[in-house]
Chains A and B, each alone.
Chain A
Amino acid sequence: MEPEGLQPNAADSHGAPILGPGYTAGSVTDKISSIVLGQRRRRGWFFGFAISFALLMMLMYAVTWLLVVGVGIWGINIPIGWGFAIINFVWWIGIGHAGTLISAILLLLRQKWRTSINRFAEAMTLFAVSCAGLFPLLHMGRPWLAYWLFPYPNVMGTWPQFRSPLVWDVFAVSTYATVSLLFWFVGLIPDLATLRDRSKSRIKQVIYGIFAMGWRGSAVHWHRYETASLLLAGLATPLVVSVHTVVSFDFAAAVVPGWHTTIFPPYFVAGAIYSGFAMVMTLAIPIRKYYGLEDFITMRHLENMAKVMLATGLIVAYGYMMETFTAFYSANTYERYAFLNRFAGPYWPAYWSLILCNIALPQLLWIKKVRTTVWSLFVISLIVNVGMWLERFVIVVTSLHRDFIPSSWGMYYPTRWDYMTFAGTIGLFLTLLYLFIRYLPVISISEMRMLVEEEDKK
């Protein structure tokens, strides 16, 4: 194992710079830590936080009422028993994947442009997983019995149904959350120590100090830190692929036409990374603008992310095509009908908006001018976020609402509680994000210092 694995790849010579000119290790540290330790009150932060917090309170309200009354307040019923809860679960968990890809796979591949975006992409992963985890729990109807999903010695004398992908999901998502949290925290330790040493107030020193776990920056500390990071990166790498594969099994292992497809795992993973990068972009663009971090998150970063989006978007498009082709080629009446129903059934606007958002519009990213213009990237990333949500809506709702027997067909109408819960989790996500931006360094200080070092050597 080589410690260089953590350092940015010095041989990277093509393209625009990944760091603005004239930075030293000290000025990088000053700039990033001042976001956290700076005394200046930021009205914008407060305003954004207030809105997010209000949305979070709406989530609390919606969830409380859900616990009091039951899942009947949602629009779910037979035949569409999954509805918003599962749509949002898949959407959120997919968003998390970009963080893991950036922090684990790009680390192992020594892509040095990941340095400045990995910290908040990882944070985004954690917060997205938190939002995702809520939905299956609430959808259970009796969330206080959620521990039944785990195999533990119980008075029922039974195990969970290990043949069900829904149980695999529990393990996949909880492993994912644990590894992501550990990875994020280990990466934060040197920065927490920096904040501890730079804080003026006693209380900040103590709090950052506790979480810095006695970091002094000795050679032994760095050695262990790099070993732990590499090990965690190795652990997290298969998770990039496995988590959404298992999520796709929730569908693919069922016999419902439109779900029962072998292409689901790869196309779900590609979709997850697609939506994840869109979300990183959606967050990175305002953050870099507001905190003046254009020198750290440069046009090069945005362009690279746009390219990843373009590539994964094409894989997703291939997935849609193959799904449709297989339905036609199978000559199975129900499969064919499921897809005809998507194209021209009652939910056709959802399907065609999905194609527009996920496939048609992102093709603009082929144009260099679009890839290097901030506002167009921002708009496209938002469109992709919407598109990926619609994709899950189409998969969940159009497949369930008309399956084998016409007598059991039905329609799905989300209620205001569905919308409130969904908007509420966006509030939860943003609240956590605002707190993160305010109290932790959004960009890894220690890795940026290494990057400065590398640049100087050139």
Chain B
Amino acid sequence: MAQIFRHSTNLISRISIYGAAFIVALLGYAVYGLTGSPYVTDVNVAKDQPVPFSHKHHVGELGIDCRYCHTSVEQSSFAGLPPTQTCMTCHSQIWTNASMLEPVRASYRDNKSIAWTRVNALPDFVYFNHSIHVAKGVGCVTCHGPMQEMPLTWAANTLQMSWCLGCHREPEKYVRPKEYVFSTTYEVPANQLELGRKLVKEYKIQSLTNCSTCHR
């Protein structure tokens, strides 16, 4: 009776059995890498905007406070996007003819909001409140990154749950004195852990990791 398989089948079957383990491991690694990549998370990807608004210019160079535009950050869950009128407080006086600002003037004339492209968005099933974080000594740049260096705005963090939990589990690693919450020049001190523990106690910061803290 003729042989059903050629002699090389032995080698092929061995390679395919051992190879399968590597392929599965590689696939797992690829999926893992992909979920953390900017392709999925949009981290460090600057978004195009209707007006190329530069935080670098307004915050870094001119030194405008965050709250000048994001007015509700201390009272509300939402930090707030400025109405066109806020832009026009200055731009009715300076750069009044700049073509770059035409959409702003058009918005002001027609009383229609500028449709900004959202950069940091949490899913709707997550409850998040800016005011409590600000009140407990979480700096703006701790989550939003160095805004004073962003010509166009990008997300500095993934906003994935593991990232949220990083701070919720160990707030002492991230909190800063309240007076520096809106500072873009504050530098994390060498004794952050020591200071952090002190602040956690002083500000009565709870390590809230219950599901229903955020998923209400």
Chain A positions within 8 Å of B10 at CB level = 214
18 example contacts (A-B, Cβ-Cβ < 8 A) are as follows: A154-B162, A155-B35, A155-B36, A155-B162, A156-B160, A156-B162, A157-B161, A157-B162, A157-B164, A157-B165, A158-B162, A202-B4, A205-B4, A206-B5, A209-B4, A209-B5, A213-B13, A214-B9
The residues of A that contact B36 with a CB separation of less than 8 Å are 155
Are A158 and B4 within 8 A (Cβ)? no
State whether A153 touches B161 (Cβ < 8 A). no
Residues from 360 to 401 in A contacting B, C-beta threshold 8 Å? none
Residues in A lying within 8 Å of B, measured CB to CB:
153-158, 196, 202, 205-206, 209, 213-214
> B166 at interface (Cβ–Cβ under 8 A)?
yes
Give Cα distance in the complex from A153 to B35, angstroms: 11
Q: Which residues of A contact B9 (CB under 8 A)?
A: 214
- One digit per residue, 1 when the CB lies within 8 angstroms of any chain A CB and 0 when it does not, for chain B 145-180 equals 000000000000010111111100000000000000
Most chain A CB atoms below 10 A, which of B158, B161, B166: B161
Pairwise interchain contact A157-B4, C-beta atoms closer than 8 A: no
Per CB-CB distance, the 9 closest pairs between chain A and chain B, nearest first, are: A157-B162, A155-B160, A156-B161, A157-B165, A205-B4, A209-B4, A155-B162, A157-B161, A155-B35
Closest-CB distance, B15 to chain A (whole angstroms): 14
B68 proximity list for chain A (CB < 8 A)? none
Question: Who on chain B is nearest to A202 by CB?
Answer: B4
CB proximity to A under 8 Å, residues B1-43: 4-5, 9-10, 13, 32, 35-36
What's the least CB distance linking A218 to chain B, in Å?
15
User: What band does the interface of chain B fall in when counting residues whose beta carbon is under 8 Å from A?
Assistant: 10 to 19
How many angstroms from the CA of A335 to the CA of B13 in the assembled complex?
59
Tell me, in angstroms, the Cα distance from A157 to B36 when the chains sit together: 13
A426 to chain B, nearest CB (A): 33
Contact B4 A196 (CB under 8 A): yes
A214 and B162 form a contact (CB under 8 A): no
A412 to B32, CA, bound (A): 43
CA distance A206 to B9 in the complex (A): 11
A206 to B6: give the CA distance in the assembly, Å.
11
Q: Give the complex CA separation of A155 and B9 in angstroms.
A: 42
Residues of chain B within 8 A of A206, CB atoms compared: 4-5
**Beta-carbon nearest neighbor of A153 in chain B:** B32
Q: How far is the CB of A285 from chain B (nearest CB, A)?
A: 37
Chain B nearest CB from A154 CB (Å) reads 7
Our pick among A155, A213, A214 for the contact of B161 (Cβ within 8 Å) is A155
CA distance A196 to B5 in the complex (A): 11
Q: Which residue of the partner chain B has the closest CB to A196?
A: B4
Q: What is the CA–CA distance of A206 and B13 in the complex, to the nearest angstrom?
A: 13
Report the minimum CB–CB distance from A163 to chain B (whole Å).
Answer: 14
Report the bound CA distance from A268 to B1 in whole Å.
53
Identity of the chain B residue whose Cβ is nearest the Cβ of A199 in the assembled complex: B4
Closest to B1 in A: A197
Contact: A155 with B158, CB < 8 Å?
Answer: yes
The answer to whether B166 touches A214, judged by C-beta atoms less than 8 angstroms apart, is no
B166's closest neighbor in chain A, by CB? A157
Q: Smallest CB–CB gap between B125 and chain A, Å?
A: 12
A213 partner residues in chain B, CB cutoff 8 A: 13
- Across the interface, name the chain A residue whose C-beta is closest to B31: A152
Give, as a whole number of angstroms, the nearest-CB distance from A363 to chain B: 50
Point out the residues of chain A lying under 8 angstroms from B32, CB to CB. Answer: 153
Identify the closest chain A residue to B32 (Cβ).
Answer: A153
Q: How far is the CB of A366 from chain B (nearest CB, A)?
A: 52
Is A158 touching B165 in the complex (CB atoms < 8 A)? Answer: yes
Distance to closest chain A CB from B174 (angstroms): 15
How many Å from the CB of B4 to the closest CB on chain A?
5
What's the Cα separation between A153 and B9 when bound, in Å?
37
Cβ of A211 to closest chain B Cβ, rounded Å? 11
- Closest-CB distance, A225 to chain B (whole angstroms): 17
Taking CB atoms, residues of chain B closer than 8 Å to A205 are 4
C-alpha spacing A155/B164, complex, angstroms: 10
Give the docked Cα–Cα distance between A158 and B166 (Å).
11
Additional A-B contact list (8), CB under 8 Å, known A154-B162, A157-B161, A158-B162: A155-B35, A157-B165, A158-B165, A206-B4, A206-B5, A209-B4, A214-B10, A214-B13
**Complex CA distance for A196 and B10, rounded to whole angstroms:** 17
Distance from A172 Cβ to chain B, minimum over Cβ atoms (Å): 23
Contacts of B4 in A (CB 8 A): 196, 202, 205-206, 209
Chain B residues lying within 8 Å of A153, measured Cβ to Cβ, are 32
Q: Bound state CA distance, A27 and B36, in angstroms?
A: 62
A206 to B2, CA, bound (A): 12
A213 to B32 Cα, complex, angstroms: 34
**B residues in contact with A196, CB < 8 Å:** 4
Q: How far is the CA of A202 from the CA of B164 in the complex (A)?
A: 60
Closest residue of A by beta carbon distance from B168 = A157
